[in-house]
Protein backbone atom coordinates (compact mmCIF):
# COMPACT_ATOMS: atom_id res chain seq x y z
CA UNK A 1 0.00 0.00 0.00
CA UNK A 2 1.55 3.38 -0.95
CA UNK A 3 2.20 5.80 1.85
CA UNK A 4 1.90 9.58 1.80
CA UNK A 5 4.79 10.21 4.18
CA UNK A 6 7.12 12.98 3.04
CA UNK A 7 10.24 10.97 3.97
CA UNK A 8 9.48 8.46 1.22
CA UNK A 9 9.35 11.14 -1.48
CA UNK A 10 12.40 13.23 -0.55
CA UNK A 11 15.96 11.95 -0.83
CA UNK A 12 18.22 11.90 2.24
CA UNK A 13 20.28 14.88 1.09
CA UNK A 14 21.08 17.04 -1.92
CA UNK A 15 24.09 14.82 -2.54
CA UNK A 16 21.89 11.75 -2.93
CA UNK A 17 19.46 13.39 -5.33
CA UNK A 18 18.70 11.13 -8.28
CA UNK A 19 20.61 12.26 -11.33
CA UNK A 20 22.95 14.45 -9.28
CA UNK A 21 26.29 12.75 -9.78
CA UNK A 22 29.50 13.19 -7.85
CA UNK A 23 31.09 15.12 -10.74
CA UNK A 24 28.25 17.63 -11.00
CA UNK A 25 28.32 18.02 -7.21
CA UNK A 26 32.06 18.84 -7.34
CA UNK A 27 31.55 21.21 -10.27
CA UNK A 28 28.91 23.05 -8.27
CA UNK A 29 31.15 23.37 -5.21
CA UNK A 30 34.42 24.18 -7.01
CA UNK A 31 33.97 27.95 -7.57
CA UNK A 32 32.86 28.51 -3.98
CA UNK A 33 35.79 26.47 -2.69
CA UNK A 34 38.23 28.48 -4.82
CA UNK A 35 36.84 31.76 -3.47
CA UNK A 36 36.98 30.44 0.09
CA UNK A 37 40.55 29.26 -0.45
CA UNK A 38 41.59 32.73 -1.60
CA UNK A 39 40.07 34.37 1.46
CA UNK A 40 41.59 31.73 3.73
CA UNK A 41 45.07 32.15 2.23
CA UNK A 42 44.90 35.95 2.58
CA UNK A 43 43.76 35.64 6.20
CA UNK A 44 46.46 33.07 6.99
CA UNK A 45 49.13 35.21 5.32
CA UNK A 46 48.14 38.21 7.46
CA UNK A 47 47.95 36.11 10.62
CA UNK A 48 51.37 34.46 10.44
CA UNK A 49 54.36 36.58 11.44
CA UNK A 50 57.26 36.82 9.01
CA UNK A 51 60.10 34.34 9.42
CA UNK A 52 62.88 35.50 11.70
CA UNK A 53 65.13 34.17 14.38
CA UNK A 54 63.97 33.17 17.84
CA UNK A 55 65.81 34.97 20.63
CA UNK A 56 65.82 34.06 24.32
CA UNK A 57 65.98 37.22 26.42
CA UNK A 58 65.63 37.16 30.23
CA UNK A 59 63.55 34.01 30.07
CA UNK A 60 61.23 35.41 27.40
CA UNK A 61 61.24 33.69 24.06
CA UNK A 62 60.96 36.39 21.42
CA UNK A 63 60.73 36.24 17.67
CA UNK A 64 62.88 38.88 16.02
CA UNK A 65 62.32 39.99 12.46
CA UNK A 66 63.16 43.04 10.43
CA UNK A 67 60.22 45.21 9.49
CA UNK A 68 62.09 46.52 6.46
CA UNK A 69 62.19 43.13 4.77
CA UNK A 70 58.46 42.70 4.46
CA UNK A 71 57.75 46.21 3.22
CA UNK A 72 57.27 46.85 -0.46
CA UNK A 73 59.02 49.45 -2.58
CA UNK A 74 59.28 52.63 -0.59
CA UNK A 75 58.57 56.08 -1.97
CA UNK A 76 61.79 57.98 -1.30
CA UNK A 77 60.65 61.44 -2.34
CA UNK A 78 57.06 62.54 -2.23
CA UNK A 79 55.53 65.76 -3.46
CA UNK A 80 53.79 67.75 -0.77
CA UNK A 81 50.98 70.17 -1.43
CA UNK A 82 51.33 72.43 1.59
CA UNK A 83 49.63 75.72 2.30
CA UNK A 84 52.02 78.63 2.88
CA UNK A 85 50.61 81.49 4.93
CA UNK A 86 50.86 85.14 3.91
CA UNK A 87 53.83 85.85 6.16
CA UNK A 88 55.77 82.85 4.93
CA UNK A 89 54.83 83.71 1.36
CA UNK A 90 56.50 87.09 1.83
CA UNK A 91 59.62 85.45 3.33
CA UNK A 92 59.75 83.00 0.44
CA UNK A 93 59.46 85.82 -2.10
CA UNK A 94 62.24 87.76 -0.36
CA UNK A 95 64.54 84.73 -0.32
CA UNK A 96 63.83 84.18 -4.01
CA UNK A 97 64.79 87.80 -4.74
CA UNK A 98 67.97 87.43 -2.67
CA UNK A 99 68.98 84.24 -4.47
CA UNK A 100 68.32 85.91 -7.84
CA UNK A 101 70.48 88.88 -6.84
CA UNK A 102 73.27 86.54 -5.71
CA UNK A 103 73.09 84.72 -9.05
CA UNK A 104 73.38 88.05 -10.87
CA UNK A 105 76.38 89.11 -8.76
CA UNK A 106 78.24 85.87 -9.43
Distances (CA, A) of 83 to 77, 80, 97: 19, 10, 21
The region of weakest confidence among 5-14, 33-42, 55-64, 65-74 is 65-74
Whole-model pTM over 0.85? no
Contact 53, 64 (CB under 8 A): yes
> Which range has the top average pLDDT, 67-71, 77-81, 96-100?
96-100
**57 compared with 103, residue with greater pLDDT:** 103
Amino acid sequence: MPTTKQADDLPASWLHMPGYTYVSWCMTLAPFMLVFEGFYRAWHHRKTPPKGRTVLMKGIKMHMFGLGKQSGPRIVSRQYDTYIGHGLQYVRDMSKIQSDVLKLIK
